[in-house]
Every structure is written in C-alpha cells, then in structure tokens.
Structure 1
C-alpha cells in the first residue's frame, strides 16, 4: 500500500510540474465555462438601434423612453430621415430601426389606431427576429397602458420590414461564418505542422545548409496552401450559391481579395506556431485548441458579440475571423464596396503583416 501511495504521489508531482497538463486540466474548463456562460444564451442584450421620430410627440417619446430603459436595446441616436437609416444599416453597427410617422399621436387620439414601422437587418435572421419581437412587445405594453385608461380600445399596428434577407434564410448567416471558420482553421492547421515535419524527419538540416535562402523556405511553405485555400474558397462559393441560394451581390474580385487577406493571415499564424513548436502533435494541439474556440465564439456568426462583457468584446478584436466575417457579409449580402469596409480591410492587412514578420523572425536558421 505504501508503494502504491508513493506512485500516486509521483504522478501528482508530474502533473503539477507540467504547465501544459495544468492548463488542460484547469485552464480550459475555466475558460469554457466563462465564455459559454456569457455567450450561450438566446437573449440579446445591448443591441444598437436607431429611432426615426417624425412625430416628435408625447406618445412617441414615451415609447422611445421605454426602449431606452430596456436592457435589450441601446438607442444610439435619433435621426430624421430614411436616408440616414439606410446609411446606418450599411455600417453594420445598427441592427434595428423604429420609425414613428408624423401623425402618430393624432391617429391614436382621433382614429383610435396608429402605425409604427420596424426595420431590421436580417442578414442575421435569428437576431433580427429576436429584436423585432422585443420591440413589438414594448410597443404592445404601451398599447395596453393607454388602452386601460381609455373608454375606447386603442390599437398600434407594427409594420415589420426585413432588409437584405426578407425570407429570413439561415444560409445568409451560416455561409459567411463557415467560410471564416474553414479558411482560418484549415490554413493554420496545415501550415503549423509544415516546418515541424521537416524538423522531425531531419530534412530541415539539409535545407538550412543548402544555398537556398532560409526566409524563402518559410514563404515556400505557405504558397501551396494559399493556392489550395483559394480553390477551397471557390468550391464553397459555388456550392453555397447553387445549392443553398446564397447571393453574391457585391464584387467577386473584392470577395477574393478579402478572402486572400484572411488566408495569408492564417498562414502566417500557422507558420508562427510551426516555428515555435518542436513536434507535430504540439503544433496541431495549439492550432486546434487555440483557434477553434476563439473562432466559434468571437466571430459573431454563432453568438452575438453584444451579449458578451466588454472585456470579451475587446478580446474579439484580435480574432481575424471577426473582421473577415464583417467584410464578407457586407460584400455578399449587402453588396457594399471597399469604401464601406476599408477599416476592416486595414485591420486584416495589419494583422497579416505583423504575424508574417514575427513568424519570419522566429524562424531559426540553426537547429539546436
């Protein structure tokens, strides 16, 4: 029994002396429960909406106040024209707009009924349906309040308009998200084992003593996967367009350009992982565990980023797939050009350049 306890004690020592094992045992469960605890919810909070109040009367002000105090909405601003509504939706930051007609309160008092228009960005159909339901419930609550103090029943009708995706097809949200997930994970995973494989097979020593420039060794590892990823992208686009009815309303060359940026960024990250690890198993583990969860959680196609605490929203900004997801939806669904997504493009270019420079600098021209 004493020998058994000695071996048990030895195993505890092995566990506590290995940071990687401790990370898997304690770090990953803690990270998952925190992330999924905040993200896995059907409720949408703090979603940006705008109000177009042509009425500017007591009734519209009371409804706007109820929208402002709701935890589901963040009324960013009040605008005065439909043209401004269209511009706001093109930025991608606004999910919902509520329009009060100029005779809103007058119709309630004299005709006993009035109408409110609700416009939702249905490029994410689930979010659009949920936010529309929230806004409708607030309007209906106000209707009940005023009806209770009136001798005649008052009715407020809501005219719901879903833009970009009137039929609320889930493929509009699914395809861009899968594109981001597949391109990032495949490129990172494939390139992360490329240099490590050369180290393990012993061919890296031959490459380093050859006249070939070591920097070109790193770049040559990325070129085949870049070409194959573009082929993979083409297959995804063809299948999603022909079989699933996914539209491509914007520029196809711009779509390929933005996709190339994500591919280059992912390849650079994979090379950095490959240069920093000593075995293919470690490289694959870092690639899968380090990229799968952040890509699924922080891209925005599975869980609304607005639901997460501010700290996690900041963390999401360093995930390349988040910016790619925004650009692809803007191009494919909204038909926007580079003028509308130049900020996201600059961020992807900056990430790509940074990761490529770091991966090249981390490349060791001498094997220990």
Structure 2
C-alpha cells in the first residue's frame, strides 16, 4: 500500500510539472465554459433595428422607448422612409425594421385598433423568427399597459419576411456549409503539401531547384486551387438543383468571390505547412484549429450579436465570416460587387498577408 501511494505521488508530481497537461486539464474546460456560455443560447441580443416612425405621436414614442429599453434590440436609426428600410436591408446594416403608421395614437383612441408592420431579414430564418417574436412581445407589452379596460385598444402586428418569405432553412444552411467546407478542405489539402516533402526527404530537391520560394509556393497551391473550384461547382450544382437554393445574383461574381476565398484558405494552409514539422501536426491544426473558429465565429451557427465585443473582434479574423456574408448577399439578395466590396477587400488583404508570411517563412527555412 505504501509503494502504491509513492507511485501515486510520483504521478502527481509529473502532472504538476507538465504545464501542457495542466493547461489541458484546467485551462481548456474553463475556456470552453466561458466561450460556449456566451454562444450556446437561443436568445439574440443587440440586434440592429431601424424604426420608421410616420406617427410621431405619444403612442409611437412609447413603443420606441420600450424597444430601446430592451436588451434584444439596438435601435440604430429612426427614418420615416421605406427607401431607407430597403437600403439598410440591402447593405445588411439591420436585421429588423418596424413601421409605425400615421395617426397611431388617434386610431388607438378612437378606432380602438391600429396596425404595426414588422419587416425581418429572413435570409437567416431562425434569427428573423426570433426577432419578430421579440418585437411582437414588446408591442404587446405596450398594448397591455393601455388596455386596462375590457375590449380596449388593440395593436395588430403584420410580419413581413423579406428574401425568404417561406422561412426555408436551406437559405442559411447552404452558405454556411459552403464557407465551412471550403475553409476546412482547402486548408487541410495544402497544410500537408510542404511538410510532406520534409518527411519524405524530397525537400532537398526543392532546395536546389532554380525556382525561387514564391514560385514553389505557387506551384503547391495551383493544383489544389483547381480542384477546389471543381468542388465548389459540385456544391453549387447540388444546392441549386436538389436543395432549392436560389441564385439571385451574378454567378460570375460568386465564382470570383469563391476563388478569392479559396486563395485565402490555400495561403493559410501553406503557412501551416511551413511552420509544422509533421503531417499529423499539420492535419491537427488544420482540422481542430480551423473547425471551432469557423463554426463559432462565422455567424453560421450562432449570431455574432450575442458575443461580447472581444469575441466579435476575434471573429473579424476568420475568413469564413466575410465569405458567408458575401454568399448570402449574392445568392439570396442578388447584390453586386458595389455592395460586397468591403468584404472582398478584407479577403484580398488576408490572402496577401498570409501568402507573404508563407513565402517569408519558407525563405527562413531555406536559409537554415
């Protein structure tokens, strides 16, 4: 029994001396609890809402105050214009719009009935349904305040879902899956490209070849780029024919943006391949290191509005977030390059930076 206790103490000492083990035992669970605690919720907070107030009376002001007081909404604009609503939805700057009609207070007082229109961006059907329900409940709370007598004033809410009136889940599912598949597959394919040469012993042939490091990097990426474009074509064909995904915008623009996303992912995979020493390490970083950020921070599974500001800033570093926005804007909303230029520039910048780092890392290895 004494010998057993000695061995147990020895194992405790080994665990406490190994910082990596301690990090896995304590750091990872705490990080996962905090991370998923913010993300794994059906509640949506701080959703961008535009209010179109035609009434400008006491009733409309009280409804607006209740919306502003709710933590679910962030009232970003108050413009009495249907054109402003359409423009805001087109740019993706709002998720919900509420139209308060003229003579709202008068209709409630004299006609005992009034209508309020709720317009939601249903390209994400789950989010649109949830936000519409929040807005309806907020308006119902105001109605309960003024509806003290029996058969008092009634506010009827008309809900309008734009871009996806049937609330098909495929409108949200397909862009997210395309983003996830391209990132994981492209990064995985290229992450083992250079490290495979190291393990097989053929790196020396590359080192003495007349090609400079940049051309070697390009030669590694070109075959995977072509295969990824073919893979994308198969995904789009299945999505549009079998799943009923619309193609409202330019197919050529979608291919251009997808090619840019593929280049970003290939550059990231090459960087991983340069800095790892084995195929197992490269595959582990590619799969595990990319799967979690892509799933959590792209906006595909969980609304980004739910996240604290530090996590929202981290989400900006995930390429699939920007590509996911582009795919939805082009395929569902039918928008053009003028509307997705910012996301395009971000992906182009990521590609340039990752490719330059990959080349620089490869040069360092050549010198060593």
Do the two structures share a fold, i.e. TM-score over 0.5? yes
Where does 1:173-192 land on structure 2 (aligned, <5 Å)?
A: 173-192=172-191
How big is the shift at 1:194? 1.0
Match of 2:70 in 1: 70
SS of residue matched to 2:75: strand
Match of 1:318 in 2: 317
Where does 1:157-172 land on structure 2 (aligned, <5 Å)?
A: 157-172=156-171
Aligned partners of 1:330 and 1:336 also within 8 Å: yes
Indicate whether 1:146 and 2:149 are aligned.
Answer: no
Indicate whether 1:37 and 2:26 are aligned.
Answer: no
Match of 1:290 in 2: 289
Distance 1:236 1:158, change over 3 A: same
Q: Deviations over 1:268-300 (max 9, x none)?
A: 111111100101111111112211100000000
- Count of aligned pairs between the two proteins: 367
Aligned partners of 1:96 and 1:121 also within 8 Å: yes
Match of 1:281 in 2: 280
How big is the shift at 1:346? 0.6
Q: Deviations over 1:187-238 (max 9, x none)?
A: 1111111111110010111221233333322211111111111111111101
Aligned partners of 2:195 and 2:279 also within 8 Å: yes
SS of residue matched to 2:167: coil
TM-score (norm 1): 0.95
Match of 1:307 in 2: 306
State the distance in 1 between where 2:25 and 2:253 align. Answer: 44
User: 5+ residue gaps in structure 1?
Assistant: none
SS of residue matched to 1:366: helix
Aligned partners of 1:208 and 1:365 also within 8 Å: no
Match of 2:97 in 1: 97
Distance 1:26 1:196, change over 3 A: farther
Structure 1 consecutive aligned stretches of length 4 or more whose deviation exceeds 4 Å: 1-23
Distance 1:9 1:266, change over 3 A: farther
Q: Deviations over 1:292-321 (max 9, x none)?
A: 100000000100000011110111111111
Where does 1:230-269 land on structure 2 (aligned, <5 Å)?
A: 230-269=229-268
TM-score (norm 2): 0.95
State the distance in 1 between where 2:111 and 2:49 align. Answer: 29
Aligned partners of 2:213 and 2:359 also within 8 Å: no
Aligned partners of 2:96 and 2:120 also within 8 Å: yes
State the distance in 2 between where 1:115 and 1:146 align. Answer: 15
Match of 1:195 in 2: 194
How big is the shift at 1:160? 0.6
State the distance in 2 between where 1:7 and 1:346 align. Answer: 59
SS of residue matched to 2:97: strand
State the distance in 2 between where 1:5 and 1:215 align. Answer: 58
Match of 2:353 in 1: 354
Q: CA RMSD in A?
A: 1.8
Aligned partners of 2:50 and 2:77 also within 8 Å: yes
